[in-house]
């Protein structure tokens, strides 16, 4: 049996009651219901057999969403509710959401420890399921500054990634996009990320294939306008559930995160991310801000998450060298991309990957080498399928 049990509770009274009735048999790790990403990471790190979830009878839907999110992220853990008062309808709803039991603080003080122990013992004896079975890779593209054009980087990254990962399904997601746009691509899909979040558990492959048209074979685009309100409280749990659902339908998801919301995205889904690409300009204040962002990333993602730094707009003759940037960041610069402003303008205005332009681009060649190293090692790039276009 694990020495730790996870408690997800915003109510201090519920935490105090659990610490008292469980005594010292388990180490009780308490987290807020807004930290679902951290809950997943802590469960995986400790092997905790039981997750206790405090229930506010005045806001039962919030607890049900927390149950659903934890069950998706931690299928090997058993869920137990904790409530001050409990109606029969609420008990039935909690059990349907996956709870094995529910403790009532005013009634179950004498029996709580034995009931938790019994469920923990049964969890230890049950066969374990791989938590990430059937889940595709998730890549976040972030930046410490809104000046950095991560839209342009992402549209070329996903197009080139799709060339290397032939036969796989890729979803490219712009979390803060303009209407009918994903990055600089035109996107007339009938479904947005905001609408998917509101659907909850009703996302399936037929819905995605019908509502999201393919931009290229194997590559689908999804736009959204995720505000701060959708990254807090209940909405954060909904986002976590939606991303978890989509990750089971695609081999690879690439998500562009707006700099203003990076912290909220990391808290919401950081534990499930496979790689994070941080893009910066070779400018002193941006490099310093990127240093702080990398520290925040380390706080929220799992240790096995790959981290990459991309320097966009790099000039060899500039006074700030790559070695200076690496020294400040205490991190290798994995990719340096040239400015090539004319080619960028042409690609942005045409809504095309830079590889589709008639011009031969150092940007495209460098990006392809980076993708082969970080995302497609051992995979053979498909026969060239980009159609060169004069603009």
> How do the pLDDT tens digits run along the chain, 391 residues long?
346 788 888 888 888 888 888 877 787 778 877 766 667 767 766 667 888 888 887 777 777 877 877 777 677 788 998 988 888 888 888 888 888 899 998 888 889 889 998 888 887 666 554 444 467 899 999 999 999 999 999 999 999 999 988 889 999 999 988 778 899 999 877 788 888 887 755 678 888 888 888 888 899 999 988 877 767 666 676 787 788 888 889 999 999 999 999 988 888 788 789 999 999 999 999 999 999 999 999 988 888 899 999 999 999 888 899 999 999 999 999 999 999 999 999 999 999 999 988 888 899 999 999 998 887 665 555 555 555 555 5
Q: Give the whole-angstrom CA distance, residue 318 versus residue 321.
A: 7
CATH number (3.20.20.140, 3.40.1190.20, 3.40.50.300, 3.40.50.720) of 137-384 reads 3.40.50.300
Structure tokens at 131: 């938590």
Q: For residues 101 and 328, what is the distance between their CA atoms, to the nearest angstrom?
A: 51
- Out of 3.40.720.10, 3.40.50.2300, 3.20.20.140, 3.40.109.10, select the CATH number for domain 4-125: 3.40.50.2300
Please report the pLDDT score of residue 339 as a whole number: 93
What pairing do the DSSP bridges indicate for beta strands 275-280 and 137-143?
parallel
Distance CA(157)–CA(127), nearest Å, equals: 40
Closest CA to 311 of 326, 333, 331, 285: 333
Residues of the chain with CATH 3.40.50.300: 137-384
pLDDT at 386: 52
Contact 65/241 with Cβ under 8 angstroms?
yes
User: Tokens 């159609």 identify what position?
Assistant: 387
User: What is the three-class DSSP state of 139?
Assistant: strand
Residue 369 vs residues 132, 258, 338, 377: alpha-carbon distances, Å: 28, 26, 14, 10
DSSP letter string over 314-359? --TTSSS-HHHHHHHHTS---EEE---HHHHHHHHHHT--GGGBSS
Number of helices and strands (H, E) in the chain? 14, 15
Would you state the structure tokens that stand for residue 7, as one six-digit string? 């408690």
- Neighbouring C-beta atoms of residue 214, cutoff 10 Å: 13
Contacts of 166 (CB under 8 A, 6+ apart): 218, 379, 382
Where do the CATH 3.40.50.2300 domains begin and end in the chain? 4-125
């Amino acid at each position: 049996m694990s020495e730790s049990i996870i408690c997800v509770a915003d109510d201090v009274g519920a935490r105090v009651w659990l610490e008292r009735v469980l005594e010292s048999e388990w180490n009780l790790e308490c987290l807020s219901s807004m930290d679902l990403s951290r809950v997943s990471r802590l469960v995986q790190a400790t092997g905790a057999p039981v997750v206790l979830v405090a229930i506010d009878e005045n806001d039962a839907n919030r607890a049900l969403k927390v149950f659903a999110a934890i069950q998706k992220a931690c299928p090997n853990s058993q869920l137990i509710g904790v409530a001050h008062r409990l109606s029969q309808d609420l008990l039935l709803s909690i059990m349907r959401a996956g709870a094995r039991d529910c403790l009532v603080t005013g009634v179950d003080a004498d029996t709580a420890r034995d009931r938790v122990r019994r469920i923990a013992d049964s969890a230890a004896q049950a066969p374990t399921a791989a938590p990430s079975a059937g889940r595709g890779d998730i890549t976040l593209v972030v930046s410490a500054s809104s000046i950095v054009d991560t839209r342009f980087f992402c549209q070329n990254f996903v197009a080139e990634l799709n060339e290397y990962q032939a036969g796989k399904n890729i979803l490219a997601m712009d979390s803060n996009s303009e209407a009918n746009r994903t990055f600089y691509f035109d996107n007339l899909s009938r479904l947005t990320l905001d609408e998917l979040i509101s659907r909850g558990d009703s996302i399936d492959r037929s819905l995605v294939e019908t509502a999201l048209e393919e931009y290229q074979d194997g590559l689908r685009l999804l736009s959204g306008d995720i505000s701060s309100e959708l990254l807090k409280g209940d909405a954060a749990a909904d986002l976590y559930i939606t991303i978890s659902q989509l990750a089971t339908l695609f081999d690879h998801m690439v998500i562009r995160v707006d700099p203003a919301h990076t912290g909220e995205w990391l808290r919401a889904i950081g534990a499930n991310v496979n790689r994070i690409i941080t893009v910066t300009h070779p400018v002193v204040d941006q490099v310093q801000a990127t240093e702080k962002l990398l520290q925040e990333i380390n706080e929220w993602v799992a240790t096995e998450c790959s981290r990459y730094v991309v320097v966009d707009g790099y000039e060899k003759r500039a006074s700030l060298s790559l070695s200076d940037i690496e020294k400040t960041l205490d991190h290798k610069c994995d990719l340096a991309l040239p400015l090539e402003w004319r080619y960028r303008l042409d690609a942005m205005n045409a809504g095309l990957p830079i590889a589709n332009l008639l011009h031969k681009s150092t940007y495209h060649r460098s990006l392809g080498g980076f993708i082969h190293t970080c995302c497609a090692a051992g995979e053979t790039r498909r026969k060239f399928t980009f159609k060169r276009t004069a603009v």
